[in-house]
């Protein structure tokens, strides 16, 4: 099966990564549990707006973008490796600003994700997959509606709510079990 896998908030621990970088640069003590909304990162980090947050996240001459400073969630890479070894195709579907493209490819290589296919786009439903795994409250409803014949999995996070037609998964073992059941 083709597995359409999101990166940030699913494979990569975006919040822990930006908070660690923020602590190094600003001396803060933030924890990922503080993030409860999709568009409130600027409030957690003390920025005036999401635009200001993304300007900081961009990096530049002083450092690489935030997307090079993320760790994978426990079990993410190992589960993707096992699923790929079982014959499934891992297809990366991620939304990224233009300035994060190279850092994202570096991150994928640094963590040796078992993929031959990477799509950086907002309309993830345009890429045909049998199973999708995402955490975005903006992406999940569209996937469930436009790819109703596929299995859409919501990686349950504080910033998303249940989506009609989506299967809730709570960790990587849970996701692997869903894929294994579908594969028979």
Q: Are residues 54 and 123 in the same domain?
A: no
Q: pLDDT by residue (tens digit) across 137-169? A: 999 999 999 999 999 999 999 999 999 999 999
| Same-domain pairing of 56 and 114 | no
Torsion angle defined by CA atoms of residues 160, 164, 170 and 171, in that order, rounded to the nearest 10 degrees: -100
Judgement on whether residues 100 and 177 belong to the same structural domain of the protein = yes
Mean pLDDT across 71-89: 98
| Residues spanned by the domain of 21 | 14-68
Q: Quote the pLDDT of residue 60.
A: 87
Q: How many domains does the chain have?
A: 2
Question: 117 near 22, Cβ under 8 Å?
Answer: no
pLDDT at 130: 98
Identify whether residues 50 and 135 lie together within a single domain. no
**Torsion sign (Cα): 22, 66, 123, 152:** negative
Residue 147 belongs to a domain with what CATH number?
Answer: 3.40.50.1000
Structure pTM?
0.96
Average pLDDT over residues 58-78: 94
**How far, in Å, CA of 10 to CA of 74, rounded?**
10
What is the band of 62 on the pLDDT scale with cuts at 50, 70, 90?
Answer: confident
Same domain, yes or no: 89 and 142:
yes
Nearby residues of 140 by Cβ (< 8 Å), 6 or more positions away? 134, 152, 154, 160, 163, 166
Check residue 111 and give its pLDDT: 98
In sequence order, which ranges of 27-89 are alpha helices (DSSP H)? 41-45, 50-58, 76-85
Per residue in 99-118, pLDDT (tens digit) is: 999 999 999 999 999 999 99
Residue 95 pLDDT greater than 90, yes or no: yes
């Amino acid at each position: 099966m083709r597995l359409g896998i999101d990166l940030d908030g699913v494979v990569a621990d975006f919040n822990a990564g930006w908070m660690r970088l923020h602590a190094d640069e600003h001396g803060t003590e933030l924890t990922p549990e503080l993030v409860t909304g999709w568009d409130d990162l600027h409030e957690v980090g003390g920025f005036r707006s999401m635009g200001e947050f993304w300007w900081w996240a961009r990096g530049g001459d002083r450092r690489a973008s935030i997307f090079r400073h993320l760790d994978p969630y426990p079990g993410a890479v190992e589960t993707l490796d096992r699923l790929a070894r079982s014959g499934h195709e891992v297809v990366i579907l991620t939304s990224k600003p233009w300035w994060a493209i190279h850092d994202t490819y570096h991150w994928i290589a640094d963590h040796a994700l078992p993929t031959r296919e990477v799509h950086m786009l907002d309309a993830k439903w345009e890429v045909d997959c049998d199973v999708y795994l995402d955490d975005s409250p903006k992406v999940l409803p569209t996937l469930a509606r436009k790819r109703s014949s596929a299995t859409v999995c919501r990686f349950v996070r504080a910033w998303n709510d249940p989506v009609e037609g989506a299967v809730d998964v709570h960790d990587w073992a849970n996701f692997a079990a869903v894929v294994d059941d579908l594969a028979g």
